[in-house]
Structures are given as structure tokens and as C-alpha cells.
Amino acid sequence: MNLHQRAAGVLLHVTSLPGPHGIGDFGPEAYHFVDWLHAAGQKLWQWLPVNPIGPGNSPYQSVSAFAGSPLMVALEPLVQRGWVDAPQLPLGGFGHAAVEFDRVVPWRLARLREAAAGFHTRATAGERAALAAWREAQAYWLDDYTLFMALEGVHQGRPWWEWAAPLRVRDAAALAAARREHADEIAFWAFVQWCFDEQCIRLKAYAHDRGVSIMGDLPIFVAHHSADCWARPDLYELDDAFQPTVVAGCPPDDLGPQGQRWGNPLYRWDRMAAEGYAWWVDRVRRALDLADVFRIDHFRGFAGYYEIPASSPTAHVGCWRPGPGQALFDAISAKLGELPIVAEDLGHITPDVIDLRDGCGFPGMKILQFAFGGDGAHEFLPHNYPAHCLVYTGTHDNDTVRGWWQQAAPRERAYAGAYLAATEADVHWAMIRAAWNSVAHIAVCQFQDVLGLDSTHRMNVPGVGEGNWTWRFDWPMVGAEPARVLGLMTAASGRGRFELLRVGA
């Protein structure tokens, strides 16, 4: 996708799709949603990270920066290929409004194990060859990930720094023995990842056929308990016991008086630079296998990142350190070519962040919900945008537009009402229209805002550890009108197919 073209899209995580199996996946409903986007004239479908979920069910705290989420592997294609019988739902089925992770995760993993067993006994020679070729091509990350998952099971889910010492320190003989002993479990995790890749890439191709590009999301940091950290502990700020000496976060500010202590280990940028940033080249290459363009979360951390002593329980104690800067992206682009990256440049933004973003040629982000706390000079008001940016009504970290309106300060709500010529009844459409009519090259809204939903449909509340990432929709709550109206706005603003105007006339 050309980030300089005028286009519009919708932010909806894969897990929020409908379907009978407890969580959205790459199955039939994903194809239905692509058809909906096409009907509404949209050119972009934005996802959140598609990595395995971590603590709090967050996709931003994954056990792997390279692997795909097993929960997104659709069961229907596995049934069609004869590897597993049509699954029987648990008593009462699953709810449609929210993901019940405690029930869904074990149930779906059990079905995937049944499919892997079916593949082992019934796969064709061609299917076996395809899996073997894929494993060889992806070995640069897959070998460590699959062994990590097998060993995590052996150690009853304990973090890797508590594993048996030879495995913890990656003794070569111990790793070789573990690969032999746990070959079946390693094969299972490889099968799941192969299914994920096949389904994701097939969906991406289907979207392309309908003029829709896929936008992914790349968290800047990795989790401490991850295959990445275990495989290369030398690339992180860890002590001799593999514990972080400093961790990631952001300092207190007006939006977050307590700041945020994320707890991720920080990179040893000097060691990554000495290797030509090879780990990052591999990571971006992998991201572009699965998506056409991707957002880098917390982009400011590449210019300068906030370092918190691991001993500090809060973000109040910390200091800024210089990041790798443009040298990192020059190294990646030298290997991969022009990078289709969106810089998440929100929060504490200093001139060095702007210089890095612009030096790399990446578009930044504007959030309309943030625009009404000042006056007409606010950078997030549409009349102040540069063309090379993405405007959002709100992201997954924001409330829905209707929820924001209901909870906004009176002055902020009054200003928004005047600027958008809106009331609570139509503020979601008014904000979408303002974004779509702006000069920003790309305009994106949450699917919740297309439907005019309130705060009960919010995806994530930053800083809150539980209860996030569960939202799902069902098609009866959509109806025909949202696609029609969004399509007309998209066509009228020069972001979509002009024939939608004639159809809607």
C-alpha cells in the first residue's frame, strides 16, 4: 500500500470478529468482513498485533515477536482438509459479545492438537512437503520458538529463567537432547504456526483481490518471558541471573500522572548495532510477510526511551536514554527496501522524535479525540494536519467516540460540538466525516465508531491489567446503513470508489 495515496480504513482486531468458536479468527467471518470493507469503499483493514497473547490477554506482551496467535487459526479449513472432525462446542457454547479467554484458550488448543494428530495420520504427501519446506524457510525464528513452547510445557508454565540450569543457559548438548526428547511437541507447535501463516497469507491475498490492504502492528519491546529473550539474552539489559536491570515504561505527564511501568526488558542497542541490527531486519521481514504496512508502537523509543530501574515499582524514578535513531532504519531498508511503516508518535514527543520520523519518511498519527482540549492551534485539529499522516477518530487505546463524548469535560464537549457541528446522537459520524475530509493521506476509525457504540464496547484501557481485549461484534448489530453511509463519506472525500456516490444517490 502506498502511504502517500488518499485512502480510508477501519481498525478492527481479528479477535473481535464474530464466529461460533469463542474468538475471531481467519475463518469465514474474516472474509465476510473484507467483503464488508469493499462494499463500504475501504482500502485498509488495520489489525492489532497478531502474536500470541500474554499476561492480561494482551497481544503486546507476547511469548514471541515472530509467532502468530494460535487462537487466530480457524478450525473450518482444518475440517475441510480432513484433519479434524467438525468441533463440538462446550455445553452452552461461547458468548458472542466478549471473548471468554479462560474457556476459549484450552478448548481451541485441544482442537488444534486433534488437527495436528489428524495431519500426522491423514495428510497427503504434498501437504507434508509444504509443511517441511515452510519449517525450513522459517527456521530462523521457528526453531527457538517451538523449543521454547515445548520446554515451557515441561516446566509447567514457569518463566524460562526458572528452568533447569542447562536449558536456562542454553547448553548446546542440553538443547539438542531436548529437541530429540520433545520432537512431537515441537512438531505440534510448528504445525500450528504453519496453519497460521497459510490462513493469514490466504486472507491477505483475498483482501488484495478486493482492493483492501492489511495494516499490522509491531510492538517496540518484547516480553521478558519470551522465546526472543531466552534465545538471545545478550541482546537485552539482563544481569547474570537473566533478570532485567532496567525496564521500559513512560514517565508521568498530564495524561498519566503516575506514568507507566511496562516492565519489558530494554535492548542492548550497542550489541544489536554490532550485528547490523540483524534481529530487527528479521523481525520487519516477518511482519511484511503477514501485512502490507505496519504501525510501530511507541516509535519515540527509537529516538530516546525511558529507562526505569528494575527495582523501582513505579515510573516515577527513571531517565531518558538515546535510542538507535535512523541508523536502525537505514540498516533495515538496506536489506528490505523502502519501509511501509507508520510511526506511532503520540505521547511525550520531542524534536528528535520528529526529526527521526521525518528523516525516515514515515507518516505520524493524529487522534481526533485529543483535538478539543485547547484552541484552534491544536495540532490534532484537521485544519492543522500535514498531508503525510494518518488521522484516527481514536485507536484501540482510546474510548469509542460516543463514550468519549459522554465523558468529556463540558468545555471540550462544547468545542467538539461547535467544530464538528455535532450532538451526541451523531458525533461518531461527524468525527469520521471530519477525519475523512481532512488532508491526511490515510483516515482510519475504529469499527465501534462506525456503529456508534458507547464505552461498554471499548477494546483497551491503558494501565489496567485485566478485562481488556475481549470485545466482539455480531452481524445483527451492524445492519446495512453503516456500510452505506461510510461508503458515501469515503467516496465524497476522495478516498474511495466514486460509483458509491451514484449508488447512494
**Catalytic (active-site) positions:** 297, 344, 397
Biggest distance spanned by C-alpha atoms of the chain: 72
Report the alpha-carbon distance of residue 283 to residue 329 in Å, rounded.
12
In a 10 Å sphere around its CB, with 0-12 CB exposed, 13-18 middle and 19+ buried, how is residue 415 labelled?
Answer: buried
Cα radius of gyration (the chain): 23
Q: Order of strands, edge to edge, in the sheet holding 260-265?
A: 260-265, 246-250, 304-309, 319-322
Helix (H, G, I), strand (E, B) or coil at 89: coil
CA atoms within a 13 Å half-sphere pointing along the CA-CB vector of 394: 29
Distance of CA 91 to the CA centre of its chain: 32
Cα four-point dihedral sign 448, 464, 109, 224: positive
User: Residue 176 half-sphere exposure, CB side, CA atoms within 13 Å?
Assistant: 3
Residues 416 and 494: their CA atoms lie apart, in Å, by: 24
Give the whole-angstrom CA distance, residue 366 versus residue 345: 9
User: Identity (one letter) of the amino acid at 378?
Assistant: H
Do 433 and 489 form a contact (C-beta atoms < 8 A)?
Answer: yes
Nearest Cα neighbor of 290 from 13, 66, 19 is 66
389: CB partners within 8 A, 6+ apart: 363, 364, 365, 366, 440, 441, 442
